[in-house]
Amino acid sequence: MILDILNEAPFSKDKIQKATSLTTMLLELTEFHRNNCPEYKNILDGLDYRSDVVSHYRDLPFLPVSLFKEFELRSIPKEDVFKTMTSSGTSGQAVSKIFLDRETAGNQQKALVKIVTSFLGGSRLPMLIIDSPSVIKDRLNFSARGAGILGFMIFGADKTYALNDDMTLNIDGIVNFLDKHAGKKIMLFGFTFMVWQHFYKELVKSKTQFDLSKGVLIHGGGWKKLVSEAVSSQIFTQALTDVCGLKEVHDYYGMVEQTGSIYMECDQGYLHASNFSDIIVRRPSDFSECDFGEVGIVQVLSPLASSYPGHSLLTEDEGVVIGEDDCRCGRQGKYFKINGRLKDAELRGCSDTYATNF
């Protein structure tokens, strides 16, 4: 079934169709991980989990995402590990380790391509990366930031880094890139704080002017640092419009524990769950499902986590589901907002972590 949904348009299923396919796949994955990951089996046994009483994926057990920092959880033999992903973590913090085999890595990449091209179109665009080249040096053990950049590089036809390794603006590189692709649509990618601190602020400070009116920016990775500076999503976009003419800006929500299953922001300002994933917002008092418009703890689900038991995870984020199947952008599925980290949760967004370490 995973191969079937990967051939579909990513926002094509309504809630009934999606519930049917996701429930089947997630039930099968739960049993697979139970049979192949001893630690996961112990957890399910401790919960007295029974698959025969589950009729909807909302009733499946979930793991706290922090568990991946404490245990090496995998459902494949060690020799089948193709790639190890690590989450962001400030100095001294434990990081999550996510073990991928080739099939899982391939499926996650296919899902990412489906989701992103539904926003950008099918053509690969000249790509300006708002980061430095040093971030992807180790291709076997990726940080969340490096993995994000490498994942999005597949959409670029010609890549240029906008920052030098010391985080100063690569002005000559940017000028040459824009001259080479004058009049063309271009893609920009970066993590939220990096874009703000090392691109936008430096453009303002140096009074450098670039015409990025043909650009589409995709950014994500944490808002906590910007919230402390009173920078909202609207202020962020307007500031970039004012300084370089950039108007089309899409935030995204995602995590290394479910790579590929990202949630992109539509032109109405909402994040969207695709056919390849879903979110449930739960009340902190009893973990019951919140109503639309009610703030709670975000749970994320994905059938693409087949090499490790990361298919149903309770995050450390607070969010709210706005609605389902009726967003004015026309996409099916739930649409929602992320309010930020839960109080006292670790600082771990890609951008936020960088800001803390820098």
The alpha carbon of 130 is separated from its chain's Cα centroid by a whole number of angstroms, namely 17
Length of the chain: 358
pLDDT value of residue 226: 67
Assigned token pair, 61: 């057990």
pLDDT value of residue 142: 53
Q: Name 300's bridge partners.
A: 279, 313
- 68 closest CA partner among 342, 249, 354, 309: 309
Q: What is the mean pLDDT of each run of 10 residues along the chain (358 residues)?
A: 87 96 96 97 96 95 95 96 78 80 94 93 92 73 70 90 93 96 95 90 92 94 65 87 93 90 93 97 97 98 96 96 98 94 59 42
Could you state, in order of their start, the residue ranges of all structural domains in the chain?
108-253+352-357
Architecture of domain 108-253+352-357: 3-Layer(aba) Sandwich (3.40)
DSSP letters of 50-87?
-GGG--SGGGS--EETTHHHHS---SS-GGG--EEEE-
pLDDT value of residue 349: 45
Residues 341 and 317 sit within 8 Å (Cβ to Cβ): yes
pLDDT value of residue 352: 42
Would you call 316 helix, strand, or coil by DSSP?
A: strand
Residues 104 and 303 sit within 8 Å (Cβ to Cβ): no
pLDDT value of residue 4: 85
Give every strand in the sheet of 97-100, ordered side by side.
Answer: 97-100, 83-86, 141-142
pLDDT value of residue 337: 95
The model carries a pTM of 0.87
